Amino acid sequence: MAGVLCPMCGKSNPTELENCQFCDARLTPLSASTADASPDQGLPLGPAPTTSSDSSGDLPDWLSGLGKAASEDEEEVPDWLASLSGEEAGTSVPASAPAPEPGLNATGSLSAGPGGKDWMARLGSEPQSATPETTPQSGLQGKGESPDWLNQLKEKAIDSELAPLGDEGKAAGADIPDWLSNFGSTPGTPEAATGESLPEWLSDLEAKTGTESAASAPIFSSELPPSSSARDETPSWLSQFQADVNAAEEQEAKQEQFDAATQPPAKENGTGTLPDWLAGIKPASTPSDGTPALIATDGGTAPEEKDDAAFSMEIPDWLSKLKPEQAAENTPEGDTEPSTPENLEASELPSWVKAMRPVESVVDGAKATPQENAQVTEQSGPLAGLSGVLPVGPGMGSLRKPPVYSTILQVTDGQQRYADALERLISSETQPQTAKRAHLASNQLWRWVISGLLILAVVLPLITGISVTQASKLQPPEMVNAFTLIGNLPTNAPVLVVFDYDPALSAELETAAAPLMDHLMLQGPRLTLISTSPTGPALAERLLHDTSASPLVAGHNYQAGQQYVNLGYLAGGPSGVLYFAISPAKAAPFTLDGQQAWQLPPLQGIQKLSDFAAVIVLTDNADSGRVWIEQAGSTIGNTPILMVISAQVEPLILPYYDSGQIKGLVTGLAGGEAYGQTFVRPDAQTGLAQRYWNSFSVGILVAELLVLVGALWSAFTGWRARRDKSGEGV
């Protein structure tokens, strides 16, 4: 694609643009805008492009003379127009210029009549009416050599067509405004600058037409398209030849554009490749007079040139010798887009050369950053309208992508081993496992069978009254100590009884405590009842008065307020127990029915916990028993602590007996039965412990048998499973 390189940023722009589409810099000089377009538009007076002159140099003389014919066609202008040319070049157009032809009317530039103002105005607005088709002709016109027959034909046409104009041309020339009259004297006028390069045929034409009206003729002729009448008159062989010449011109133009793109812009801006007249007007028409020298230097140096300089330092000789011309030879002819250095780098550099490139050339973002910076256009100040002059932000260096680090985790062997172990552990969790067969029916059946056996073992002794087992002859030492302590209590001794058990285990505690309480109440003590459980006071009343709980204890018929005091519920847990141990009267001042407890006879003489003759704790909870031991142990003095506990807490309370913190212990039904066997009432009555003993013994025996059978069955099934598994393995 042909284009014009911007002198500021060095980028390619379409030829029809006057300003750079990237940096908005002016592409062509202000005073030479028309002359700059001459190579494409075929200005006859403009300096012919080098390619055109080169190509035309190969043409034969007779074909070069076609330029004169074409110039003769262009001489079909009114005399007033010729006078313009005369003012410019010192020649004059004949006053008898013929009327404009239809072909000229098509352009609208010569059909305005003698007045000439309208078409003059339109002429200025349609400077691009000259089509590229005129380029070959202009090229031909550039050469002043034409055959004689063509010169004669030109003279005849001038004589016959310009004669009717008469003095109108002069009148028209008189109507031309001053600014237009002075136009030809501007420094940018091609003729003024390159008058010596005029072709001969044009020089002859000027000589013939005189010096009067030829001032503006070259200008208008350069802007006017070739006469349609002249094209109509062109023979077919000439049209074909023109097409061939056009193709050659286009090819040469492409080659020229490629050369211009590959060469440094500084050389392009230099006068070496430009015509002399354009070189002469270039400095005067440069719009960037105020541009700082530094910017001009940067703008004049293309990025590709910098790359070349960088590559010249490291690339081998053979690669440095690779000229753009050589690269252009490899470019396909059909590729109309000029190759850029970036394309050459991306397509032809071998991999090892690519590896040698700097990071900016490898990382796209790093290379794109300067381009993005170049797009920033200054909005104010002397640099207004210029792009890429200043960096994006003050103090910011070149933006680069951060270095890329490897994302591979570096682990040691130990860490890898741990990771593998964790992976195996997780994988084992996610693997599906075969669900074990559920024998719900069998379990339910076994539940009923076991329940039936236990109920039967319990009920039968209760119903029949048959003594299956003998009375327990075991006398645990802790029970014996409790019995001894109770037996040694003096008459009417104050005893504190703590009921810290729940109704769920009241049967066991009542059965275990009944012999001890019966033995105690036979001593006639003053009882003080208290509980840290909300249900404790009610259970205490039940034990003392309910015959179903304990007929022996209820038989004593202890009276509240007279023989015993129920202090009720002691709130606060361990803190309450500690408070009661320190100050019993303040911790539990009232009885269960709201009376002042410490004024009642059972509590007479009691000020502190050590004033009690004994403390008996009935509990089914190890924590509750431990709280009384821990909190009351430091204030109880020599007062013994006895405990009646459930069988389920015996392993946790027994160590306190071994340590001497509690002096006696009765555990569960077995302990109560043993206590009952030890303590024999005068009337030989027995309590519930003895009544329950048979059922208890049978029930425990059945349970032990069931446990044994279950253990054997489990062992058998396990052995069978292992045997089956070993058989499958074999």
Residue ranges binding another protein (CB under 8 A) = 444, 447-448, 451, 454-455, 458-459, 462-463, 503-505, 507-508, 511, 534-535, 537-538, 548, 568-569, 571, 573-575, 578, 589-590, 592, 594, 620, 626-627, 629-631, 633-634, 646-651, 655-656, 658-661, 668-670, 688, 691-692, 695-696, 699-700, 703
Q: Which tokens belong to 463?
A: 């119903």
User: Closer CB to another protein, residue 590 or residue 679?
Assistant: 590
H or E, element range at 4: strand 4-5
Q: Are 206 and 91 in contact (CB under 8 A)?
A: yes
Its sign, for the CA torsion 192, 193, 195, 201, is negative
Length of the chain: 730
Q: Which tokens belong to 644?
A: 């009646």
User: Closer CB to another protein, residue 643 or residue 688?
Assistant: 688
User: Closer CB to another protein, residue 49 or residue 536?
Assistant: 536
CB of 574 to another protein, least distance (A): 5
CB of 668 to another protein, least distance (A): 6
Tokens 């001009």 identify what position?
296
User: Closer CB to another protein, residue 214 or residue 530?
Assistant: 530
CB of 523 to another protein, least distance (A): 27
CB of 656 to another protein, least distance (A): 8
CB of 669 to another protein, least distance (A): 5
Q: Are 118 and 25 in contact (CB under 8 A)?
A: no
User: Closer CB to another protein, residue 296 or residue 454?
Assistant: 454
User: Closer CB to another protein, residue 392 or residue 707?
Assistant: 707
CB of 531 to another protein, least distance (A): 10
CB of 447 to another protein, least distance (A): 7
Q: d(Cα 416, Cα 109) in Å, to the nearest integer?
A: 89
User: Closer CB to another protein, residue 287 or residue 551?
Assistant: 551
Its sign, for the CA torsion 594, 596, 600, 606, is positive
Three-class DSSP category at 463:
helix
User: Closer CB to another protein, residue 198 or residue 669?
Assistant: 669
Q: d(Cα 574, Cα 174) in Å, to the nearest integer?
A: 130
User: Closer CB to another protein, residue 250 or residue 546?
Assistant: 546
CB of 525 to another protein, least distance (A): 24
Q: d(Cα 459, Cα 465) in Å, to the nearest integer?
A: 10
- Tally DSSP H helices, then E strands, for the chain: 39, 8
User: Closer CB to another protein, residue 130 or residue 457?
Assistant: 457
Three-class DSSP category at 465:
coil
Inter-axis angle of helices 66-74 and 134-142, to 10 degrees?
A: 110
Ordered alpha helix ranges (H), 32-167: 33-36, 38-41, 50-57, 61-64, 66-74, 79-89, 102-107, 117-125, 134-142, 148-162
CB of 629 to another protein, least distance (A): 6
667 forms beta bridges with: 645
700, 702, 708, 712 alpha-carbon torsion, rounded to 10° = -160
User: Closer CB to another protein, residue 27 or residue 592?
Assistant: 592
CB of 673 to another protein, least distance (A): 11
User: Closer CB to another protein, residue 281 or residue 538?
Assistant: 538
Q: d(Cα 10, Cα 70) in Å, to the nearest integer?
A: 37
Q: d(Cα 83, Cα 95) in Å, to the nearest integer?
A: 8
Its sign, for the CA torsion 558, 564, 570, 576, is negative
CB of 549 to another protein, least distance (A): 9
Report angle CA 668, 669, 671 to the nearest 5 degrees. 70
DSSP string, 297-342: HHHHS-HHHHHHHHHHHHS-HHHHT--HHHHHHHS-TT--SPP-HH
Its sign, for the CA torsion 300, 302, 306, 312, is negative
Q: Which tokens belong to 192?
A: 């003024």
CB of 429 to another protein, least distance (A): 19
